[in-house]
Amino acid sequence: MRVVRTLSEMREVRAALRGCVGFVPTMGYLHEGHLSLIRRARAECEVVVVSLFVNPAQFGPGEDYERYPRDEARDLALLEREAVDVAFVPTVEEMYPPGFSTWVEVTGPLAERLEGASRPGHLRGVATVVLKLFHLVQPHRAYFGEKDAQQLRIIRRMTSDLNLPIEIVACPIVREPDGLALSSRNVYLSPAEREHARALSRSLALARRLILEEGMREAAEVRRRLQEYLRAAPGVTLDYVSLAHPETLEEVERIEGPVLVLVAARVGSARLIDNALIP
């Protein structure tokens, strides 16, 4: 595996790559969720490039940029084990040199609600870094997890709007046996908080039951029941519950087809998100 740390080296290495290039952008501290994306890329592409970059531009003031978990040596060992061809580990200084002032912003309803409302600037930071990484790596396919449902849709929108010749591949959420969606931020949870965090995936199971088994059709009613459940859950501070159109992420009123249920909450010092597509 080649470890590339500068932008010029990445361009040089890319120019010599042949065949389909699959790219998995990550912020490191890899878990089974990331590994599932890498394995999918490995199965579908001749060359696999993975980036490890904790992107300061997608963290707001007071968020966890400084303490975001990092373990480069462990990440590189895992990538080596997955037979990754290139690990791209750029520096903040090179990605955002002094004077950096160009941003990529997806606008409109897709970006305004949910994470867009709760974390101002976050999605802009994601779109900007992903476009920069796409330019440097020039992949044919790029792999993203469905846990970050809004991020995935923002990146699809950007890729289409800016005519990038890249196929965006969505990969299913990987969960712990008790349902907790894998996230690098789970490391912030104490054992008690880890128990409390199960409420998020349980609220999605409740949505599934209300819609599929009880036949509830009024989105407001389902939303209210989930809010009630999460507000009563010990150790959980609810941010939002949304029943959204799976493509536009606009809030639905009546449930007449597939609906994406999204939840966000704080548990201890971790802000967690989860979602489920209810057919």
Binding segment toward ligand PAF, per CB under 6 A, in 23-31, 72-80, 101-109, 219-227: 23-31
Name which of 46, 45, 55 is nearest 130 in CA terms: 55
Angstrom distance (rounded) from CA 7 to CA 96: 11
Smallest separation (angstroms) from ligand PAF to the CB of 252: 26
Q: Verify binding: residue 123, ligand PAF, rule CB under 6 A.
A: no
Q: Verify binding: residue 50, ligand PAF, rule CB under 6 A.
A: no
Judged by DSSP in three states, 75 sits in: helix
Complete edge-to-edge strand list for the sheet that includes strand 236-244 = 236-244, 259-267, 270-278
Q: Verify binding: residue 75, ligand PAF, rule CB under 6 A.
A: no
Q: Verify binding: residue 58, ligand PAF, rule CB under 6 A.
A: yes
Q: Verify binding: residue 55, ligand PAF, rule CB under 6 A.
A: yes
Query: Is the CB of 85 or the CB of 115 nearer to ligand PAF?
Result: 115
Cα distances from 270 to residues 25, 55, 68, 175, 266, in angstroms, run: 22, 18, 10, 17, 6
Greatest distance between any 2 Cα atoms in the chain: 58
User: Which of 34, 122, 135, 245 is an active site residue?
Assistant: 34
Query: Is the CB of 133 or the CB of 238 nearer to ligand PAF?
Result: 133
Query: Is the CB of 141 or the CB of 223 nearer to ligand PAF?
Result: 141
Scanning residues 145 to 164, which ones bind ligand PAF (CB under 6 A)?
A: 148, 151
Which amino acid is residue 11, in one-letter code? R
Q: Is 31 a catalytic residue?
A: no
Q: Verify binding: residue 129, ligand PAF, rule CB under 6 A.
A: yes
Q: Binding ligand PAF by CB under 6 A: which of 52, 126, 169, 260? A: 126
Angstrom distance (rounded) from CA 181 to CA 36: 13
Matching residue, tokens 């305004």: 112
Smallest separation (angstroms) from ligand PAF to the CB of 241: 22
Q: How many residues sit close enough to ligand PAF to count as binding (CB under 6 A)? A: 10
Q: Verify binding: residue 130, ligand PAF, rule CB under 6 A.
A: yes
The pair of structure tokens assigned to 166 is 């890249």
Angstrom distance (rounded) from CA 263 to CA 227: 9
Complete edge-to-edge strand list for the sheet that includes strand 141-145 = 2-4, 86-88, 47-52, 21-26, 141-145, 167-171
Q: Verify binding: residue 183, ligand PAF, rule CB under 6 A.
A: no
Angstrom distance (rounded) from CA 264 to CA 230: 10
Smallest separation (angstroms) from ligand PAF to the CB of 1: 19
Catalytic residues: 34
Instruction: Report the interface residues with ligand PAF, using CB under 6 A.
Output: 25-27, 55, 58, 126, 129-130, 148, 151
